[in-house]
A and B are shown apart, each in its own frame.
Chain A
Amino acid sequence: MNREEAVKIVMSMLEKNVEGLEMSEDKMGKTLVDLGVDSLDVMLVIMDVGEAAGVAISDDEAEGLDTPEKIVEFILEDE
């Protein structure tokens, strides 16, 4: 999977699960908290991203993924 595809997955899962959130490249480095993603939404987003990208994200790993960019990097590294 290339970066473009990973970004697309992360953005679409964020928009799907967080009401009113519209993603763009300039938001990739913001924290999930700043994007209005609460602690429960985060769990759902991480689960959906993991399933869509075909990667396993452990609880410990998920704790550190606090920006969309970090989630993208995780997907690319895990492949």
Chain B
Amino acid sequence: MLGIQSVASYLPKGRVDNLKQADRFETDREFVEQKIGVATLPRFEETDSVVSTSVAAFNHLCKKVQIDKSEIECVVLCTQNPDNGGLPHNSALLHAALELPEECACFDIGLGCSGYVYGLSVIQSFMTANGMNKGLLFTCDPYSRILDPEDKNTCLLFGDAASVTFVSDTPRYKLATAKFSTKGAGSEALQKTDHGLEMNGRAVFNFALQDVPKQIKRTLASAELTVEDVELFLLHQGSRFMLENTIKRAGIPAEKAPIRLSETGNTVSSSIPILLETELDNSPRRILMSGFGVGLSWATAIYEEVKPN
């Protein structure tokens, strides 16, 4: 049985003061702090890259758990903004940077905010199908590379970050059930154009508040669970206002669903693992994760603690 053994993340040292950005965009500071919920945004510095920050996340992981690099058989990287335009696939560059063995599968996944929930399922399924025991799932999506500096809708929202999840045959958490959905016809709500990233805030908001709670409820029902049976709900940290209302509409008690994006902003596929890294210290018995965004794509999974024998 495979599952999550440990998680680590890395926030680049570059910082953007979101309140100063608010002034620049002539937006109320209180609105930015209370509604968007982001005070500062981590940003790639010139020397940062998807590979370098992923390596930094891996170095953090090595402080938490003992990793024998010669045992790593699989590396999956989730990003939509890879180094070198994605050629070569950045997981291969990571493979080189981490000096991993040749007998190691490496591939990238191009998903946004649903990417972590998808990626976890993909890496576990791939490893199980191929008899592998140790693997790494990275997320790193520096949206700062595609932001239009004059677009306040996105500039005030997105932060850069990286994470790595150690998937192994001695897991702390195993997948119980997952649901995946796509509404490709709505993909124009969040897309890259010649001007950079463009977001239709209303369309994304409606999607998050109407479709995500339904999937959360469907996932719980398929596992024959209720909200009461789940100790922790980790929802993609899009923006404070959107999260508060998505949580409310899903019928989740606020105290079970942390909102923590003041110092990170929306870090795309890294937002859930950043939360998970902290929350694993509390050893929740059952965790529901839900990622949603670009695509439109959304995915919800329930993970259960593996009781030691």
Q: Which residues of A contact B (CB under 8 A)?
A: 38-40, 43-44, 47, 59, 62
Contacts and interface: CB of A to CB of B under 8 A. Distances in A.
B261 to A, nearest CB: 15
Q: Which of A38, A39, A40, A59 gathers the greatest number of chain B CB atoms within 10 Å?
A: A40
B206 A43 contact: yes
Contacts of B28: 38
Nearest to A17: B245
A40 B31 CA distance: 9
A40 B35 contact: yes
Given A47-B209, A47-B210, A62 B245 contact: no
B203 A59 contact: yes
B205 interface: yes
Contacts of B35: 38, 40
A69 B201 CA distance: 24
Contacts of A59: 200, 202-203, 206
Provide the main secondary structure of the chain B interface: helix
Nearest to B35: A40
23 contacts: A38-B28, A38-B31, A38-B35, A39-B201, A40-B35, A40-B205, A40-B241, A43-B201, A43-B202, A43-B205, A43-B206, A44-B205, A44-B209, A44-B245, A47-B205, A47-B206, A47-B209, A47-B210, A59-B200, A59-B202, A59-B203, A59-B206, A62-B202
Interface string B14-40: 000000000000001001000100000
Q: Majority SS of interface residues in chain A?
A: helix
Contacts of A43: 201-202, 205-206
Contacts of A62: 202
A62 B202 CA distance: 9
Nearest to B239: A40
Contacts of B209: 44, 47
Given A43-B205, A59-B202, 13 more contacts: A38-B31, A40-B35, A40-B241, A43-B201, A43-B202, A43-B206, A44-B209, A44-B245, A47-B205, A47-B209, A59-B203, A59-B206, A62-B202
Contacts of B201: 39, 43
A34 B202 CA distance: 20
A44 B127 CA distance: 42
Contacts of B202: 43, 59, 62
A40 to B, nearest CB: 5
A38 B245 CA distance: 15
Interface in B199-229: 200-203, 205-206, 209-210
B27 to A, nearest CB: 10
Nearest to A60: B202
A44 B202 CA distance: 9
Interface string B222-257: 000000000000000000010001000000000000
Interface string B176-203: 0000000000000000000000001111
Contacts of B210: 47
A36 B202 CA distance: 19
A40 B206 CA distance: 11
B217 to A, nearest CB: 16
A21 B31 CA distance: 17
